[in-house]
Structure 1
């Protein structure tokens, strides 16, 4: 077999370069690309077809959980290893449900990282020993039903951003779509929700707790 091909995804340049230097020093590992956002990660993964993606979670444009979900829909044989500062159960379970095979905290030593890379590439699940029991218990519980099952994933994305108070232009920039497309989506989701104004839709979304994962634009960075 050839070297393990790795894509690094992190919006902090210093962290990204440091991880690249570390992984590049491992025998049998080749860093094929880097990305600063979830959207860039999807493009680079499509171009380079990595064996493993080292994924941050809190990023602009597209958070790491949703990027993992979309990346694995595109490249189901690729393994995702999350490396993050988030250690709460909800974030861990969201990442694993999205398809991540590994979950390490930033600060893991180089032996742990190398072992995790090889393990997830071989199809194994890797989490810290203190998290494993909690993870099993949480994954055994059924996933909660979606708050708005009639909406498409894109409409969910837009409704979540309405809940954050974003206008059409900001939502369009965030999702990489035209403002007119956003307006059309909002008109459709208002009809589906049975409301007539975006304020009513926003209130429903907030009552349901619908919001995207944290990004640098919505709160201080903790990736």
Structure 2
């Protein structure tokens, strides 16, 4: 369970670190433990899945290039059973396509090797802070509701099965309902990235959301596209 004070209770935060480089894994664990976290190490993708199935974690750190199963594969499998746990990818790959692939797999953030342990700790604390369980807030637009505490959305009483990024996108659009949100703003707030031409990421996830909403009976323009401006969910009222 996420804690209410990171400074006082980080020792209660359980982290799964999947890294096949034994020296780097050992040093990374040592740094995180010194900052008060509890860390389990998995040496490959299979062991990461096994440990995740057995234990309860608050955050997962995945190296991309691992034996048995890649970090991308592990992230996808984790997302099938847990849509909310923060996932941080460690990668030596700096190409845009690899970053996009990681986010599509379900990662919430990434860190390119070589990295400083100070930066790693800051990223971890930021992800945990965003993932903390808060007082329940229910966002609504027409027949659509989103319980931000339970991370559950429904339309006209029918539950939507959404990925972590789909939930994040829907959350941000609902928080800003009645206002046009640009692709740049969505990338910066939902994907925590600077805009660098990855507008197809937003378009792809909006398409996913629209499809799932239509399956529950929503109209095709529930999330409206404002040409050259962005997207909007209007401040609808239940009829």
**TM-score normalised to structure 2 length:** 0.53
2:184 equivalent in structure 1: none
Cα deviation for residue 126 of structure 1 reads 6.8
Write the mapping of 1:134-213 to structure 2, written as runs, cut at 5 A: 134=196, 136-142=198-204
1:189 equivalent in structure 2: none
What is the aligned residue count?
138
Cα deviation for residue 96 of structure 1 reads 0.5
Cα deviation for residue 135 of structure 1 reads 6.8
- Compare 14-23 and 133-142 and name the one that shifted more: 133-142
1:57 equivalent in structure 2: 64
2:53 equivalent in structure 1: 46
CA-atom RMSD, angstroms? 2.1
Asked if the contact 2:64/2:89 (under 8 Å) is kept, the reply is yes
Aligned with 1:34: secondary structure? Answer: strand
Change (3 A) 1:78 1:40: same
Counterparts of 2:108 and 2:190 in 1: how far apart (Å)?
Answer: 5
| Structure 2 residue 166 is the aligned partner of structure 1 residue 104 | no
Change (3 A) 1:109 1:65: same
- Cα deviations across residues 31-87 of structure 1 (Å, max 9, x unaligned)? 1x1111111111111112111111100111111101101012123232110111111
Counterparts of 1:102 and 1:35 in 2: how far apart (Å)?
Answer: 19
Counterparts of 1:105 and 1:77 in 2: how far apart (Å)?
Answer: 23
Aligned with 2:195: secondary structure? Answer: helix
Cα deviation for residue 137 of structure 1 reads 2.6
- Cα deviations across residues 168-211 of structure 1 (Å, max 9, x unaligned)? xxxxxxxxxxxxxxxxxxxxxxxxxxxxxxxxxxxxxxxxxxxx
2:153 equivalent in structure 1: none
Aligned with 1:111: secondary structure? Answer: helix
Structure with the largest fraction of helix: 1
Cα deviation for residue 12 of structure 1 reads 1.1
Greater than 3 Å deviation, 4+ residue runs: 123-127
Structure 1 spans left out of the alignment, 5+ residues:
144-223
| Structure 2 residue 92 is the aligned partner of structure 1 residue 30 | no
**TM-score normalised to structure 1 length:** 0.56
Structure with the largest fraction of strand: 2
Asked if the contact 1:10/1:56 (under 8 Å) is kept, the reply is yes
Asked if the contact 1:57/1:82 (under 8 Å) is kept, the reply is yes
Aligned with 1:132: secondary structure? Answer: coil
